[in-house]
Chains A and B, each alone.
Chain A
């Protein structure tokens, strides 16, 4: 049994890339993007990096990267982008990042989203672009120690609303929220 929680991950960094050469450019910098659209992968940490990096492919030529606090990959990539590589366009991503986890997580999701997350295999590493209570979100089902949890990203201007609304549902379902107001 684990407590149902929604948590705002305030210390993660994000980067977006667009353009026909984005995947190749990323590879030249040691970051391998998944090949299948709407999927994510965890890249190998670079020297001195201990935190995981998530690389999500949102379309044929659009990528989204998140790195937890302490990582340096995104900083390195951002520096490299200042050289304006051909066919690679940086996309400002200041997303609000939430993590929904614990017992009853699917009960919460069923109240806010028209996607059957319970039927998805986290091993498939899909990234779902959908609407959650009226907000466009990216959702990555993940698993750790046999427990499902969900990373959710949205435009930061919707962050307070989405966080508070999810928090209210979580609290109703017996959970707690951290970093968001229910």
Chain B
């Protein structure tokens, strides 16, 4: 390849030279070059290596899916050379090499290709013994660019966009569609993955180019149109929501209507060595020559099966790049005018011949093409093979419609045997197709089809009327039905991303992977970075031949977002991470809180005080609660109010216990089940008045529980209203033997046991803040939950803290609370229960009133009662307290799993390691020793014991006069 003389309209600016490094050597290109065009102009024989066999590769399609020409650029992996503009000082290296591009040690794999058949890695992993070895080898050998963890974090803010009509593809049909929609009054966004609009137009001059330029300029000037180039529509989602990806960000474009003018993608001919550097698509060569003025070679053979091949030869000639010969796969092309035009230019025309193989030169590039005549039977007369010397082979044998996004939008396609192309069949509302995608190929028809689609899309959005008639589809055949030539020595590639040859697909079919979906998954055809854009159709043709079925019968594989690879940084965007904080967050921080996530809240795990370790801090917090007084922020609990005449009945239905009969001023534990009788949440329900209850949910469950309650309320239509006040109300647990006396100094409520007994609730004031007091005991000591409006939280917290410090108060965190409740044997839903645990298994049947007319899960519980438990929650004490098991360690009995630990901790007050475990019913019944397997396979002995471990008669929560 070499750079041509300057030509008006070229995309490069020769006045600005750009120096860059490739594989450690300095080169020079021009402003406006892409990495690939600049490298091609240097005359380097090849620019990359293939994924599997490490074969030399060069520019192939030059259409944003040259997956063998992705580079490591300034530390960024997998940068696409064909679309990435060159910059001064770029450091570019080839990817997927061992020792550099021109000394790649892995190139030897090409010689061992016979030992790497299709699906070889699936088969390799069949051996359990060899699995680790294969895994290590595959991990070492595979992969493309190198992720450098030291790279600076690049924030790529996503944004939402809105328009009436989104037009995808800025070729002639797309430009006309956008113009028509704008003229009708619609707000239009026109996007194209190319660096400039214009699509396939590469001619130097002419009426087509001029008319498109005029329309494009009008669109750029229009305030109603937003033209975005270098922007890929990478995925279609529901309701005309399209992900638009550019170098900086992803735009989530919400359109009212979408026009797909995505065009067609040129497909390669398949013959031996069709991947040699110098063999490339004719459309890619046209772009390379017209835009970047790089000639693909000095002696060019053009392999064709359509009229576009002849047009390419004429155009290249006009650009100063003569084509030596055209090899036409067809005996009768029907394109006599085009043939004559080429003949006049001195191009040798060879009809009814196929390429047998490309010949590799000393520099790894193509140096000749062997061709053989087609016989009348359709076979190839290999005895008459002859060799044509060349340094480039351009292929123009057919196209595949870019239907991937269209089908993601819900459109169906049908294969046209005449056009040898899938065409849009049924389109959902608001979806329109135009241009070559739609089977319309000549320039004027594409423009007319674009105007029709743009007008219809605008009308769909309420702008004007859809008045233009459908445009007739092409009658000429743009694609050869089978440009695939078998060869005994293979290396006739169908998929250049994954180095898949014809025989690989044949073997996949022979092994039973004989549908388009199965073949794709087994062979990985179409699963590389280009996502089948150049391989899916040829793979279908091979499958069609092997199965004896039509392409239409086989159908395309399902296209799913993302249609085009998107860098992870673009998907990450700003990396927003939702976090909730309680009103006393700053007070926690001042007290030395060490944070932990709890749901989406941040909570103090413990408070680091005076250089104590984590375990020391937690132990001190526990001890303080047991012996003096502790204060914990429990504002993360879900907090819900329910009002209305039927509020009690509603709670009776959603909880397993009874609440409509509960006295005003009392609280009760509530257990919430799903329809299967499984425990999904728990909390405390307080009755504040005849028509008002206030109840808590678990921290993690508040949003889902509230949503479910709203659904049930709408379903049942009871006269009650639910309000979620989780974030609007703070809550603290003030607990320990000294808490009553301290609290009494702060509130006007009579806290005596007689006036405010265990499980009662009262409303009163602390420091002028109206508060709700619930006398409950999750930590197993005398204690009060104090619920206050968020605005008064800091005042109440400070008052409690100040009053308590004189009595040895410590604030305590989540870990201390977990230990305290474990000593009491209180379960945590989701930790000590799993997705199947019912109240009987959790020893919580005391919270269930089966005599009620109805509650959610009741019917299932009746069945579960008859069936008996599947597992039981039990307490464990460990004999050896020096070594600790962990949560989820297994109980083992005679080699089988007999249960698992759900919570475990070392209790200082009990001086032993205690745990809760879900075990088989047989084990739960026997109060005996069990074996627990810990890390390294070591076994610990534990004994099943009754719970609570601490204060089994609950005397400390009901203490008089403390």
Contacts and interface: CB of A to CB of B under 8 A. Distances in A.
B85 interface: no
Contact of B721 (A19, A95, A107, A111): A19
A119 B461 CA distance: 15
Interface string A144-161: 000000000001111111
A110 B159 contact: yes
Interface in B695-742: 721, 723, 725-729
Given A134-B576, A157-B726, A114 B160 contact: yes
Interface string A89-132: 10111110000000000010011011110110000000000000
B723 to A, nearest CB: 5
Interface in A1-29: 16, 18-19
B581 interface: yes
A93 B728 contact: yes
A152 to B, nearest CB: 15
B723 A158 contact: no
Contact of A114 (B254, B723, B729, B790): B254
Contacts of A115: 160
Contact of A161 (B158, B162, B578, B789): B578
Nearest to B582: A157
Contacts of B576: 133-134, 165
Interface string B594-610: 00000001000000000
Nearest to A132: B576
B578 A134 contact: yes
A172 B159 CA distance: 13
B579 A161 contact: yes
B156 to A, nearest CB: 11
B643 A158 contact: no
A172 B727 contact: no
Category for how many chain B residues contact A: 20 to 34
B252 interface: yes
B580 A158 contact: yes
- Residue with the greatest number of chain B CB neighbours at <10 A, chosen from A89, A107, A114: A89
Given A19-B721, A116-B254, A158-B580, A92 B729 contact: yes
Interface in B549-580: 574, 576, 578-580
Identify whether the interface residues of A are mostly helix, strand, loop, or mixed: mixed
Contacts of B370: none
Contacts of B757: none
B583 interface: yes
Given A110-B159, A172-B157, A156 B583 contact: yes
A177 interface: no
B528 interface: no
A135 B578 contact: yes
Contacts of B581: 157, 159-161
B643 A18 contact: yes
Contacts, number: 88
A116 B189 CA distance: 15
A92 B790 CA distance: 9
Given A135-B578, A160-B585, A161-B579, A91 B157 contact: no
A165 B573 CA distance: 13
Contacts of B727: 94, 155-158
A28 B91 CA distance: 75
- Residue with the greatest number of chain B CB neighbours at <10 A, chosen from A91, A156, A165: A156
Given A158-B727, A161-B578, A116 B162 contact: yes
Contacts of A94: 727-729, 789-791
A93 B635 CA distance: 15
B159 A92 contact: no
Contacts of B689: 84
A56 interface: no
A169 interface: yes
A18 B580 contact: no
Given A119-B162, A157-B582, A114 B252 contact: yes
Contacts of B481: none
Nearest 4 CB-CB pairings of A with B: A157-B727, A155-B727, A116-B162, A94-B790
Given A19-B721, A92-B641, A157-B581, 7 more contacts: A89-B643, A89-B692, A92-B725, A95-B728, A157-B727, A158-B580, A158-B727
8 contacts: A89-B723, A91-B723, A92-B641, A94-B789, A94-B790, A116-B162, A116-B254, A165-B576
